[in-house]
Amino acid sequence: MIRGTAHLAVYDTFADWETGHTTAHLTRNGFAVRTVGLTTTPVTSMGGLTVRPDLALTELRPEDSALLVLPGATQWDAGDELAPFARTARAFLDAGVPVAAICGATAGLAREGLLDDRAHTSAASFYLAATGYAGGAHYTDADAVTDRDLITAGPTEPVAFAREVFGRLGVYDEKKLDAWYRLFHDSDASAYEVLQG
């Protein structure tokens, strides 16, 4: 039984390692994961993987989704090519559908004004400050941050990022979520038994 559909944004140079824990464990726990591109033309990840998007961004509607995931990519800092994804994130948040952004995608959301009144994090505060956004007072020096329906993380925290997604979507109860994080972040083998229980 499908618990919902998570949409993963894909574009050239997307950082494929940043969302691997998130998408793999959502799939293992009953969520469908569909990829979304600017078009359905294949894209190539930073790791050299070719991905053909399942749908174009113009086809994506918040009411058909449980989550929009935005990975980092060099394009976030190289012009406005990915700005349509940030505008879509605004539509999702306005509709009460969660958005999870990691690494450079946080800068895209900053430029869109989506971090101006929400607690958030990123690679570093000065990275977001360079966008000229107005949310610097809400920057939090943490692995990952959830404020209402927005999840943010820096590029070195794919496990903490996934934990926040799982918590927001109710993928695991609190005990199993803690065990999942201890297993994948801390290599705590004792957490495996809790996850299997």
Tokens standing for residue 45: 């990840």
Residues in a beta bridge with 5: 32
Number of domains composing the chain: 1
Residue 57 lies in a domain: yes
Tell me what percent of the chain is helix, strand and coil, each rounded to the nearest 5: 40, 20, 40
Q: Given this model, what pLDDT does residue 197 score? A: 82
State whether the Cα torsion 183-147-125-106 is positive or negative: positive
Q: Which helix (H) or strand (E) holds 56?
A: strand 55-56
Q: Which helix (H) or strand (E) holds 144?
A: strand 144-147
Single-letter code of the amino acid located at 147: D
Residue 180 lies in a domain: no
Q: What angle is formed at CA 5 by the lines to CA 90 and CA 19, rounded to 5 degrees?
A: 75
Residue 31 lies in a domain: yes
CA nearest to 43, candidates 52, 54, 56: 52
Residue 108 lies in a domain: yes
Q: Which residues are catalytic?
A: 103
What is the Cα–Cα distance from 157 to 111, expressed in whole angstroms? 22
What is the Cα–Cα distance from 124 to 112, expressed in whole angstroms? 18
Q: Given this model, what pLDDT does residue 2 score? A: 83
Cα distances from 95 to residues 88, 130, 149, in angstroms, run 11, 29, 10
Residue 149 lies in a domain: yes
Cα distances from 160 to residues 54, 102, 172, in angstroms, run 27, 10, 14
Residue 192 lies in a domain: no
Residue 178 lies in a domain: no
Domain of residue 129, residue span: 4-171
Residues of the chain with pLDDT under 50: none
> Residue 13 in contact with residue 46, Cβ under 8 Å?
yes
Does pTM surpass 0.85? yes
Residues in a beta bridge with 120: 139
What CATH number is given to the structural domain containing 99? 3.40.50.880
- Burial of 165-184, coded b for 16+ CB within 10 Å and e otherwise, reads bbbbbebbeeebbebbbbbb
- Alpha carbon 36 to chain centroid, angstroms: 13
Residue 41 lies in a domain: yes
